[in-house]
């Protein structure tokens, strides 16, 4: 299907100026009579590629700080581990690890499996 920037903005709940910024940044769009038109497959491809490009591979002890926009560690005294009721598999459950960015002091959070819990806790010297 073919969409206008206005239609796309309503479908994915972003401001239409965002769509125009994406066009400036490389989203493929056709122009007819001064109006932009975008194929659905092109918006899917653009969004998929931008997600891959922005992904940050973290070490077990790292968090992604949304303020610093980079991988970081937590202040050791601020780290806490919380078990959730979410089962990931038969023997694995979800852990939420909370901390404070060592660079900027922003709250940081990471979701992890209990599989790596001992290794993460040893990095943070048994913080609970």
User: Within its chain, how far is the Cα of 20 from the centroid?
Assistant: 22
Confidence of residue 124 (pLDDT cuts 50, 70, 90): confident
Topology of the domain comprising 2-54: Multidrug-efflux Transporter Regulator; Chain: A; Domain 2 (1.10.1660)
Distances in Å between the Cα of 24 and the Cα atoms of 7, 28, 59, 101, 106 are 18, 9, 34, 33, 32
Residue 62 is predicted with a pLDDT of: 95
What pTM did the predictor assign? 0.60
Tens of pLDDT, residues 80-98: 999 999 999 999 999 999 9
Architecture of the 63-123 domain: Single Sheet (2.20)
What percent of the chain is modeled with pLDDT above 90?
78
Residue tagged 């009579």 (tokens): 33
Residue 108 is predicted with a pLDDT of: 97
Cα(52)–Cα(105) distance, integer angstroms: 27
pLDDT higher than threshold 80 for residue 77: yes
The least confident of 8-17, 50-59, 61-70 is 50-59
* Residue whose C-alpha is closest to residue 121's, from 85, 84, 74: 74
The structural domains of the chain, with segments of one domain joined by +, span 2-54, 63-123
In sequence order, which residues have a C-beta less than 8 Å from that of residue 113 and are 6 or more positions away?
88, 92, 93, 94, 95
Q: What is the mean pLDDT of the chain?
A: 92
- Cβ–Cβ < 8 Å for 1, 40: yes
């Amino acid at each position: 299907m073919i969409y206008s920037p206005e239609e796309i903005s309503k479908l994915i709940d972003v401001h239409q100026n965002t769509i125009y910024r994406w066009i400036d940044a490389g989203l493929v769009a056709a122009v007819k009579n001064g109006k932009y038109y975008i194929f659905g497959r092109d918006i899917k491809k653009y969004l998929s590629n931008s997600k891959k490009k922005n992904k940050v591979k973290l070490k077990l002890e790292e968090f992604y700080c949304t303020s610093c926009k980079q991988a970081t560690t937590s202040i050791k005294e601020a780290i806490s581990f919380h078990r959730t009721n979410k089962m990931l598999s038969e023997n694995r459950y979800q852990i939420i690890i909370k901390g404070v960015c060592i660079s900027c002091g922003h709250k940081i959070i990471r979701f992890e499996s209990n599989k790596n819990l001992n290794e993460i806790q040893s990095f943070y010297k048994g913080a609970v």
